[in-house]
Amino acid sequence: MHDDRSLVEARLKRVLDERIRPAVYPESVPLDVAVWHAPGEPVPVAEGLAAEPEPIEVGARWGAPWGTSWFRVTGRVPEAWAGRTVEALLDLGFDENMPGFQCEGLVYRPDGTPVKGLNPRNQWVRIGAPVEGGEEVCLHIEAASNPVILDYHPFLPTQLGDKETAGSEPQYRLARMDLAVLDETVWELVLDLEVLGELMAELPVDSARRWDILRAVDKALDAVDLQDVNGTAAQARARLETVLSEPAVPSAHRISAVGHAHIDSAWLWPLRETVRKVARTTANMTALLEDEPEFVFAMSQAQQWAWVKEHRPEVWARVKKAVADGRFVPAGGMWVESDTNMPGSEAMARQFVHGKRFFLDEFGIENEEAWLPDTFGFAAGLPQIIKAAGSKWLLTQKISWSQTNKFPHHTFTWEGIDGTRIFTHFPPVDTYNCSMKGGEIAHAARNFKDKGVARHSLAPTGWGDGGGGTTREMVAKAARLRDLEGSATVVWETPAEFFTKAEAEYPDPPVWVGELYLELHRATLTSQARTKQGNRRSEHLLREAELWAATAAVRTGFPYPYEELDRVWKTVLLHQFHDILPGSSIAWVHREARATYERLAADLDGIIDAAQRALAGDGTTPLVFNSAPHIREGVPAGGARTPVTGGRTMVSDRPGGGHVLDNGLLRVEIDAQGLVVSAYDHDADRESIAPGRAGNLLQLHPDFPNMWDAWDVDEFYRNTVTDLTDLDEMAPEGDGVRVTRSFGASRVTQLLSLAPGERRLLVDTEVDWHETEKFLKLAFPLDVHAERYASETQFGHFYRPTHTNTSWEAAKFEACNHRFVHLEEPGWGVAIVNDSTYGHDVTRTVRTDGDHGTTTTVRVSLLRAPRFPDPETDQGVHRFRHALVPGADIADAVREGWRINLPERRLSGAGEVAPLVGVDRDAVVVTAVKLADDGSGDVVVRFHEAHGGRCRARLTAGFAFTSVTATDLLERPLPDSAVEHDGTGVNVRLRPFELVTLRFRRADSVL
């Protein structure tokens, strides 16, 4: 037989595009349209419905950037259409290729009842099926004219990312506004042909099944009268019945389709617009659930559910009903789909506490999966946090974006730093916006790396980011793929149903140990420095507020601010969303974030001050309150007393220029260029700085990645570097030296200080930053031979290599740390600690002259200047604090990391304040002291082993208690949770990095 594949395939495409799809709506009449443009920000629904609109014609331009327009469409169903299915086709000017990235609408009835969302791939509203004829039609559309930020030529700088700079030029042109007859037979034929055509294209050319489909399609097209598609569609469908009814082979890959609409809580739109995106999507999905009995939809991010509840009660009522029916599924158990690299220990824990508690309180549903399809890599401390929250599974997709190495598994066990293991799945469909195309389904089956031992994968299905979620076309395609020869099988299931089946069929999956590093988007560890500083500061202020408020509540009856702390925590958690904290959102988002962090800081400072004053009482005794988890200047952790100080620092001139700082523990030499050429440890008789090199070296690189400007830094940035050594001025100041230098349009002022009795060189840096597409680093070349270094993460630290033996190590040229980086030779090490930076790189070289020793260089990433999506990223003044700690072991690194982030607070009072909780081992770090969330008055203490070894310790309570219970993160008792105590405290044994939460029932507890 002659090979006529190309002929038939081309025929199918043209006939579908030019004849069959247009026949889906064979008759239409125009609707009358009027519009009212809301001034300023969006208005309440009642106000929009009541506004008096003015006529507007199809083809007219509308919609200033970030504006809201209320359209009213009216008309009458023709009498001749009686008995037929009629829909309104409402095209606001959509580009079908951009679902989620342009204008959107939510349709209401005149009484304010929400109907469904309007999106580029979802432009219809059902009027009747069937209609009687003559019905009056009146619909209102709340239309958002969100500008297109990520256009066909992506990453171009634009002022559209903030309403303050976006202007007022209309963004869209009103397109079709009609009533139309829906020919459901033709619609079904379109789906038949699409499914078969897409499947056919994925099958081998020598496959009999491919030829069977080709011949059936050819015969079906023969049956279509191109001048009467509607009259012949049924005949065409009949010729496809046989090929559509052939069952899948028993070994076919099995896909659990989960209705989904990944919605970034902020990204190329502000937070307020996400509230409306979620409302539109949930309205769409509840409507689709009513029409499609097998469909299941899952939505993550408790914050987004809370927005619907607060802002769209009419939609919320429909959501609650669908949840009760078991088909609208809360997923993930987190407050938002957060970044997981940068949030601190407690913040990462609270993502699960607040997320899971919301779903439990609202629906009585316990999530067992973490759902993070789009997060930019996963910190090594996350598995035990997931487990401690009562969950056991993880889903993500983003690792498939890695540029260098292909991850070797799709279903596996992920082991964290403490040995906790979590069953994990990466959907091989390689998208969290699956649309049920044949190419996607075939890719999932081919791509699945666990063939032979497993057969299940998951496909998150639906348009995200306000694209409207799952469509009826996706559901129709899935129905045809349920059991179809040549294809993977598809069935709608909840995430829990998928994970239960996948875990049962694959009881011993391979293990991946350590972080799940995304080989992409590395610059998100640095972009938008003020957002990152706001997050870090908020995390530590929350620690202080809970600690001192709990202490004051127990000691003085101070009213514990439950509601205020709950509000602040949820706000901080929201801003850890994976496009806010990483710095990859538009200018509007980060402008608002800066203001929000300032308000939160004021609120938390108020709580802290009030609690500390209640504890201090009246008096003139100078007190230092120590919020850090280690003793400091004689002040115990979590207590207050007069500090013990002593010693002095000598500041002298250095021969040849510069200055010398010496406090008897360290001697630091600063040369005539303001660079640290020596950091000598007196006790160890050891130099920290590599011979011939200088620390505190600011380095500037060009920074123009190939794409994803705010997200990416490409390795070639290292090819060009400028050492910033020109000096404006340098002079002694207090226990240190102030250094000022200029470069480009920017200026840097640094204070390098060595406090008496301290084994650390403090580097305070202020940068007035006005560069574009540049990357600023702070370098410390150290005389240390180390094949690995420690980087702090949640509830511990983990090690990365300093070498690049393999492509896996080479790809980690920019990585994340929290408060410290530490490297050492046996018996001696160096730590670099920070108060607000995350990105860094560590490299090693062997010196070719002199001692031929190894130089290990740690560079801290300070600032970037990408122009997309925020063209003014980080312009202005920034302040950073870092410290070089020579002679540091890992315990020193942990302690100094906490110290630089929790500065002392000074008050005068009546006398010493004893800690509410004490620990007798520095290896045990208390991350939270608080009152139980249920208002019982119980004291909750969370702690972990921080040095990476086994530990015995005693936890002492400075209050009367009757029992101690081990709990999960939600403060619920664990099995066999009773903990032995002696009335004053408990003895604990911890494995490396083990996380523990204890709940103390106070003798005077409320409950």
* Catalytic site positions: 374
Distance CA 376, CA 850 (A): 43
Distance CA 212, CA 209 (A): 5
* Phi, psi of 57, rounded to the nearest 5 degrees: -100, 150
CA angle 469-475-480, nearest 5°? 155
Closest CA to 872 of 594, 600, 601: 594
Distance CA 442, CA 412 (A): 21
Residue 985 DSSP code: E
Tokens coding 365: 């549903």
Residue 915 DSSP code: -
Contact yes or no for 1003/394 (Cβ under 8 A): no
| Burial of residue 60, with CB atoms counted within 10 A of its CB: 0-12 exposed, 13-18 middle, 19 or more buried | middle
Contact yes or no for 330/367 (Cβ under 8 A): yes
* String of DSSP letters for 754-817: --TT-S-EEEEEEEEE--SSEEEEEEEEE----SEEEEEETTEEEEEESS-SSHHHHT-SSEE-
Q: How far is CA 980 from CA 957, 963, 971, 992, 993, in A?
A: 13, 8, 18, 21, 22
CA angle 290-291-294, nearest 5°? 85
- The answer to whether the peptide bond before residue 886 is cis (omega within 30 degrees of 0) is no
Helix (H, G, I), strand (E, B) or coil at 663: coil
Q: What is the 3-state secondary structure (H, E, C) of 708-754?
A: CCCCCCCHHHHHCCEEECCCCEEEEECCEEEEEEEECCEEEEEEEEC
Distance CA 369, CA 742 (A): 51
Tokens coding 169: 């030029």
* Residues 6 or more apart whose Cβ sits within 8 Å of residue 873: 527, 528, 583, 710, 864, 865, 866, 867
Distance CA 270, CA 367 (A): 28
Residue with tokens 């509000």: 567
* String of DSSP letters for 148-210: -SS-SSTT---GGGSTTTS-----EE---EEEEEE-HHHHHHHHHHHHHHHHHHHS-TT-HHH
Distance CA 406, CA 826 (A): 35
DSSP-derived pairing of the beta strands 456-461 and 421-425: unpaired
* Phi, psi of 943, rounded to the nearest 5 degrees: -150, 165
User: Cα-atom radius of gyration of the chain, to the nearest Å?
Assistant: 31
* Helical (H) or strand (E) element with 906: strand 905-909
Residue 432 DSSP code: S
Distance CA 857, CA 848 (A): 16
* Residues 6 or more apart whose Cβ sits within 8 Å of residue 111: none
Strand order in the sheet with 124-128: 28-30, 177-182, 85-90, 124-128
Q: Where are the alpha helices (DSSP H) in 41-183?
A: 45-50
Residue 516 DSSP code: B
- The answer to whether the peptide bond before residue 559 is cis (omega within 30 degrees of 0) is no
Distance CA 799, CA 824 (A): 12
